[in-house]
């Protein structure tokens, strides 16, 4: 994958959040060099295999680590209620313009913690 400073920031954030102090230990667990981990933290080139292993070791969402989608812990919340599933299926059955407007509306609503 090409140079991506935002991905490097997410990697540094994940390492910090997981309280990993020894890059040597992380590199050894991933079977890569310390220089490779340093390069990734600076947004440098990485392979899909390496970033997948990094996401697994750090226990973070691959989508978040790679693309910045969702949250760091997004992969841990895999349950969906029957009501949520019903809403998703209903949304999928709507025309593209309606889906787009509904999604715009949902994105405009602040997260719950901001409402307090």
Can you spell out the DSSP letters for the chain? ----HHHHHHHHHHHHHTT---HHHHHHHHTS-HHHHHHHHTT----HHHHHHHHHHHT--HHHHHH--S-TTGGG-----HHHHHHHHHHHTS-HHHHHHHHHHHHHSPPGGGG-
Model confidence at 116, pLDDT cuts 50, 70, 90, reads very low
Predicted confidence (pLDDT) per residue in 30-82, tens digit: 999 999 999 999 999 999 999 999 999 999 999 899 999 888 887 776 677 78
Give residue 103's pLDDT band: very low, low, confident or very high (50, 70, 90): confident
Give residue-wise pLDDT tens across range 5-25: 999 999 999 999 989 889 999
114 confidence band (pLDDT: 50, 70, 90): very low
Mean pLDDT of 95-110: 90
Indicate whether 89 pLDDT > 50.
yes
């Amino acid at each position: 994958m090409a140079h991506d400073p935002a991905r490097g920031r997410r990697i540094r954030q994940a390492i910090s959040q997981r309280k990993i102090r020894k890059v040597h230990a992380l590199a050894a667990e991933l079977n890569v060099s310390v220089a490779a981990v340093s390069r990734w933290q600076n947004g440098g080139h990485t392979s899909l295999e390496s970033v997948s292993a990094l996401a697994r070791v750090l226990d973070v969402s691959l989508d978040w680590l790679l693309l910045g989608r969702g949250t760091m812990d997004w992969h841990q919340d895999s349950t969906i209620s029957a009501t949520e599933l019903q809403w998703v299926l209903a949304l999928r059955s709507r025309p593209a313009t309606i889906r787009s407007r509904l999604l715009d509306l949902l994105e405009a609503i602040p997260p719950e913690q901001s409402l307090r």
